[in-house]
Amino acid sequence: MIIPGTVLNVVDNTGILKARCIKIYGDTKKACAKIGDVILVVVETYTLKRGFLLDKKKKDRFLKGKKHRALVIRIKQNYKRNYGVFIRFSDNAIIIINKRKMPLSKKISGPVLYELLEKYPSIGILARWLILII
Protein backbone atom coordinates (compact mmCIF):
# COMPACT_ATOMS: atom_id res chain seq x y z
CA MET A 1 0.00 0.00 0.00
CA ILE A 2 1.26 3.42 -0.92
CA ILE A 3 -0.17 6.37 0.98
CA PRO A 4 0.71 10.06 0.64
CA GLY A 5 4.11 10.61 2.25
CA THR A 6 5.63 7.28 1.17
CA VAL A 7 9.15 7.43 -0.29
CA LEU A 8 9.45 5.28 -3.45
CA ASN A 9 12.27 4.02 -5.67
CA VAL A 10 12.22 5.22 -9.27
CA VAL A 11 13.30 2.37 -11.55
CA ASP A 12 13.60 4.09 -14.92
CA ASN A 13 16.51 6.00 -16.42
CA THR A 14 15.22 9.55 -15.92
CA GLY A 15 17.90 10.30 -13.30
CA ILE A 16 15.51 10.40 -10.34
CA LEU A 17 16.50 8.01 -7.54
CA LYS A 18 13.76 8.53 -4.94
CA ALA A 19 10.40 10.32 -4.99
CA ARG A 20 7.72 11.01 -2.37
CA CYS A 21 4.02 10.38 -3.05
CA ILE A 22 1.86 13.44 -2.47
CA LYS A 23 -1.46 12.48 -4.12
CA ILE A 24 -3.26 9.42 -5.47
CA TYR A 25 -5.24 9.92 -8.68
CA GLY A 26 -8.52 8.16 -9.29
CA ASP A 27 -11.45 7.82 -6.93
CA THR A 28 -11.71 10.66 -4.41
CA LYS A 29 -12.12 8.24 -1.50
CA LYS A 30 -9.05 6.20 -2.46
CA ALA A 31 -6.67 6.13 0.50
CA CYS A 32 -3.89 3.92 -0.84
CA ALA A 33 -2.39 3.06 -4.23
CA LYS A 34 -1.88 -0.44 -5.56
CA ILE A 35 -0.05 -1.82 -8.60
CA GLY A 36 -1.18 -0.05 -11.77
CA ASP A 37 -2.39 3.16 -10.10
CA VAL A 38 -1.26 6.64 -11.13
CA ILE A 39 0.07 8.93 -8.38
CA LEU A 40 1.59 12.40 -8.11
CA VAL A 41 5.14 12.48 -6.75
CA VAL A 42 7.74 15.08 -5.89
CA VAL A 43 11.46 14.44 -6.52
CA GLU A 44 13.49 13.75 -3.36
CA THR A 45 16.92 12.73 -4.73
CA TYR A 46 18.40 12.59 -8.22
CA THR A 47 21.74 11.88 -9.87
CA LEU A 48 23.68 13.58 -12.62
CA LYS A 49 25.29 10.34 -13.82
CA ARG A 50 22.32 8.86 -15.66
CA GLY A 51 19.25 9.90 -17.54
CA PHE A 52 18.27 12.93 -19.54
CA LEU A 53 20.36 15.42 -17.58
CA LEU A 54 22.95 15.64 -20.37
CA ASP A 55 20.63 17.75 -22.52
CA LYS A 56 20.49 21.44 -21.58
CA LYS A 57 16.73 21.81 -22.16
CA LYS A 58 15.83 18.73 -20.15
CA LYS A 59 18.29 19.40 -17.32
CA ASP A 60 15.84 21.35 -15.14
CA ARG A 61 13.03 18.86 -15.72
CA PHE A 62 13.98 16.32 -13.03
CA LEU A 63 15.49 18.49 -10.28
CA LYS A 64 14.61 18.20 -6.59
CA GLY A 65 11.18 19.57 -5.77
CA LYS A 66 9.64 19.09 -9.25
CA LYS A 67 6.26 17.33 -9.46
CA HIS A 68 5.59 14.43 -11.84
CA ARG A 69 2.98 11.77 -12.48
CA ALA A 70 4.11 8.23 -11.77
CA LEU A 71 2.83 4.70 -12.27
CA VAL A 72 3.18 2.15 -9.46
CA ILE A 73 4.77 -1.05 -10.78
CA ARG A 74 5.87 -2.83 -7.57
CA ILE A 75 4.70 -2.75 -3.94
CA LYS A 76 5.84 -4.57 -0.81
CA GLN A 77 2.35 -5.74 0.07
CA ASN A 78 1.13 -9.10 -1.27
CA TYR A 79 -0.54 -8.91 -4.69
CA LYS A 80 -3.14 -11.62 -5.31
CA ARG A 81 -3.67 -12.96 -8.79
CA ASN A 82 -7.00 -14.33 -10.02
CA TYR A 83 -6.06 -17.98 -9.52
CA GLY A 84 -4.95 -17.61 -5.88
CA VAL A 85 -1.19 -17.07 -6.13
CA PHE A 86 0.34 -14.24 -4.09
CA ILE A 87 3.30 -12.22 -5.37
CA ARG A 88 5.39 -9.96 -3.15
CA PHE A 89 8.22 -7.60 -4.10
CA SER A 90 11.07 -6.33 -1.95
CA ASP A 91 10.55 -2.62 -2.68
CA ASN A 92 8.01 0.01 -3.66
CA ALA A 93 8.84 1.11 -7.21
CA ILE A 94 7.44 3.57 -9.73
CA ILE A 95 8.16 4.89 -13.21
CA ILE A 96 7.66 8.49 -14.33
CA ILE A 97 4.90 9.00 -16.94
CA ASN A 98 3.28 11.94 -18.74
CA LYS A 99 -0.38 12.98 -18.88
CA ARG A 100 -1.10 10.49 -21.68
CA LYS A 101 0.30 7.69 -19.47
CA MET A 102 3.34 7.13 -21.66
CA PRO A 103 6.71 6.57 -19.93
CA LEU A 104 9.28 9.37 -20.12
CA SER A 105 12.22 6.96 -20.04
CA LYS A 106 13.69 4.42 -22.42
CA LYS A 107 14.40 1.60 -19.95
CA ILE A 108 12.80 0.00 -16.88
CA SER A 109 14.97 -1.98 -14.47
CA GLY A 110 13.57 -4.86 -12.45
CA PRO A 111 10.54 -7.12 -12.88
CA VAL A 112 7.14 -5.96 -14.14
CA LEU A 113 3.87 -7.85 -13.70
CA TYR A 114 2.12 -9.24 -16.76
CA GLU A 115 -1.18 -7.66 -15.64
CA LEU A 116 0.31 -4.20 -16.15
CA LEU A 117 0.99 -4.94 -19.81
CA GLU A 118 -2.70 -5.49 -20.48
CA LYS A 119 -3.54 -2.08 -19.01
CA TYR A 120 -0.45 -0.16 -20.26
CA PRO A 121 1.00 -1.84 -23.39
CA SER A 122 3.75 0.78 -23.82
CA ILE A 123 5.46 -0.49 -20.67
CA GLY A 124 5.97 -3.95 -22.14
CA ILE A 125 8.38 -2.59 -24.73
CA LEU A 126 10.62 -1.05 -22.07
CA ALA A 127 10.56 -3.87 -19.51
CA ARG A 128 13.40 -6.37 -19.39
CA TRP A 129 11.81 -8.87 -16.97
CA LEU A 130 8.17 -9.93 -17.02
CA ILE A 131 6.46 -12.05 -14.38
CA LEU A 132 4.11 -14.25 -16.38
CA ILE A 133 1.48 -16.78 -15.33
CA ILE A 134 2.97 -19.55 -13.20
What digits encode the pLDDT tens for the residues 103-122? 998 889 989 988 888 889 88
For residues 75 and 34, the answer to whether their CB atoms sit within 8 Å is yes
Give the pLDDT band (50/70/90) at residue 51. Answer: low
Give this prediction's pTM.
Answer: 0.89
pLDDT tens-digit map of 8-49:
999 998 889 999 999 999 877 788 999 999 999 999 998 876
Q: What digits encode the pLDDT tens for the residues 60-97?
A: 778 889 999 999 999 999 988 888 889 899 999 999 99
Across the chain, the runs of DSSP E, i.e. the strands, are 7-10, 16-24, 38-46, 67-74, 79-80, 86-87, 93-97, 108-113, 127-131
- Report CA 6 to chain centroid distance, whole Å: 13
Tell whether domain 7-104 is in CATH 2.40.150.20: yes
Domain ranges of the chain: 7-104
